[in-house]
Structures are given as structure tokens and as C-alpha cells.
């Protein structure tokens, strides 16, 4: 699945994440909706 986010209001910024089958580590400044979208995309 492919997803698109606006990070700090800018759609051209990327984020580095680390994930396994149970959880994903994302930047702390990522919005709650952004965290939910990443969790949905990665199925964690």
C-alpha cells in the first residue's frame, strides 16, 4: 500500500521510520492522523 502525508504542512518532506510486525517508530512531531496512516499502511 502506498500513502501520502503532509509532514509539518509540507507534502515534499519524507520521514524515516523503523517498523516490524508489532510496532512502528515514527518521529515524535508527526501528527496523530499521520501516525494512524502509517500504522494502517504498515499494518502494525
pLDDT of residue 34: 87
- Phi first, then psi: give them for residue 35, nearest 5 degrees: -65, -40
Task: Please give the residue range of the domain that contains residue 9.
Answer: 1-44
pLDDT of residue 13: 81
pTM: 0.71
pLDDT of residue 19: 92
In sequence order, what DSSP letters do the residues of 1-44 get, joined into one string?
------BTTBTT-----EE-SS-EE--TTS-HHHHHHHHHHHT-
Q: How many domains does the chain have?
A: 1
Tens of pLDDT, residue by residue over 4-32, are 888 878 888 877 889 999 999 998 888 89
Amino acid at each position: 500500500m502506498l500513502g501520502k502525508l503532509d509532514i509539518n504542512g509540507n507534502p515534499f518532506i519524507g520521514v524515516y521510520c523503523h517498523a516490524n510486525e508489532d510496532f512502528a517508530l515514527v518521529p515524535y512531531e508527526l501528527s496523530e492522523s499521520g501516525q494512524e496512516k502509517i500504522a494502517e499502511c504498515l499494518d502494525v
